[in-house]
Amino acid sequence: MDVTIRVKRFDPEVADPQSYWQEFTVSIEDNGTVLDALIKIREDNDGAFSLRCSCRSSICGSCAVRINGHAGLACKTQAATAIKDGVITVEPMGNMPVIKDLVVNFDSFWDKIMEVEPYLKPEGPEPEAEYIASNESMLHLSDVTSCIMCGSCVSDCTVLEVDPSFLGPAALAKAYRFTADPRDGNEKGVSKDRLEELTKPSGMWDCTRCMECVQACPKGVAPMDRIMALRDQAMEAGFTNTNGARHTEAFSDSVGHSGWLDELRLVPKSVGMTNVTALLGYAPIAIQALTHGKMPPIIHKKLPDAKNVKKIFDKVEKPMERD
C-alpha cells in the first residue's frame, strides 16, 4: 500500500530556522501503522528525519505525535484509517517546544508531574510488613494507573495553549492517582495537603472541560474525569472558599432552583459578592455585553418545568434508599 505522509518539519541547525511542510510517499503493508510509514521515511527517504519510537506496542508512549490535527500514538494508528483526502498529516505534539522535526522537549511535562509529588506519602507509623490496600480501592484506580506518560493529553489541552502555567491533564490525573489511594494521606485516603495545593491558581479549577484530553488519551485514563473527581474531593474536604468551588455551587444552585442558569449572578457569586476589586475587573465585559444586547435578564424567572430539574438534583444528591 502506498501512503502519502505530509510532515511538519523543523531543523534548528539552519540559519533562521522555520517550520515547513514536506510530503513523502512510501510503501508499507496494508495493515501498517503511521509509525511504520514514518520509519520508512527515515530509512528510505531522509536519514536526517527525526522522530521518537521504541516499543511499537502502545506501551512506551514515545511515538506520540499529532495525526490529522489530534494527538495519538503513531504505532497504534492504522495508516489505512488515517488517510484524509489521500494524505496523512503528521506534526509534532503541541504545547511543548519542538527540538527537531517530530521530537519535542518534555522538560515542562516532567516538571509538572514532579510538582504534584507523584509518590505515596502515608501517615502514621510504618507497618511491620507492607501498606495494604483493598482490591476494590485499587480496581478503582486501574484506569488512571494505565497512564504511559505519552503526553498526548498535554499536547491537545486548550488551556495550556493560553496558560502554560496550568498543571495540565497529565499531572492532575497523576495527582488523583494518589489522592484516591487509601494508603496516602489521612485515614480516609485523601490528603488534604495535596488537595490544598491543587486548589491554587493553575490547578484543578483551571480546567475548562473541553474533553480534548479524554479524546487524545490512548489508554482510557480520561484525565478530565479525574480532574472533576479531584474537585469533588477538594470540596468534600472543605476547600470551598475558592473561585472554582463557588462557581460550581452557584451553577448548581441556580440550575437546581430555576431549571436554567442565572448568568447575571454567576460571576459575582463565583468571585465573591464582596470582592469589589474582582467585580470591577469584569466591568468592561459587562459594558460590552450591554452595548451588544447580550446582557442576561435582571429578573431571573423559573422555567415552567423547573420542578423536574429539581427532581434530578434531589436524586443525585440524596443517597438512594435500599428496598
Q: What is the pLDDT confidence band of residue 188, given thresholds at 50, 70 and 90?
A: low
Q: For residue range 311-321, what is the model confidence (pLDDT) as tens digits?
A: 888 888 775 45
**31 has pLDDT over 90:** yes
Class of domain 2-104: alpha beta
State residue 20's pLDDT score: 97
For domain 107-236, give its CATH number from 3.10.20.30, 2.40.50.140, 1.10.1060.10, 3.20.20.70: 1.10.1060.10
Contact 55, 62 (CB under 8 A): yes
In the block, cell 536526517 appears at 48
The ranges assigned to domains in the chain are: 2-104, 107-236, 250-317
Q: In Å, how far from its chain's centre is CA 223?
A: 5
State residue 29's pLDDT score: 96
Contact 4, 21 (CB under 8 A): no
Phi and psi at 99, nearest 5°, equal -90, -55
**322 has pLDDT over 50:** no
Q: For residue range 80-139, what is the model confidence (pLDDT) as tens digits?
A: 999 999 999 999 999 999 999 999 999 999 999 999 999 988 877 788 888 888 888 888
State residue 323's pLDDT score: 43
DSSP string, 202-224: TSGGG-----HHHHH-TT---HH
Q: Which of 204, 223, 166 is nearest to 194 (CA)?
A: 204
**DSSP for residue 302:** P
State residue 177's pLDDT score: 94
Residues with Cβ within 8 Å of 145's Cβ and at least 6 positions away in sequence, in order, are 177
Grid coordinates representing 87 are 494524505
Q: Which of 231, 150, 249 is nearest to 190 (CA)?
A: 231
Name the residue type at position 260: W
State residue 185's pLDDT score: 74
Residues with Cβ within 8 Å of 179's Cβ and at least 6 positions away in sequence, in order, are 185, 189, 190, 191, 194, 195, 198, 230, 233
Q: Which of 207, 274, 203 is nearest to 239 (CA)?
A: 203
**81-95, 143-157, 188-202, 214-228: segment of lowest average pLDDT:** 188-202
Grid coordinates representing 213 are 484530553
Phi and psi at 155, nearest 5°, equal -55, -40
Mean pLDDT of 180-197: 78
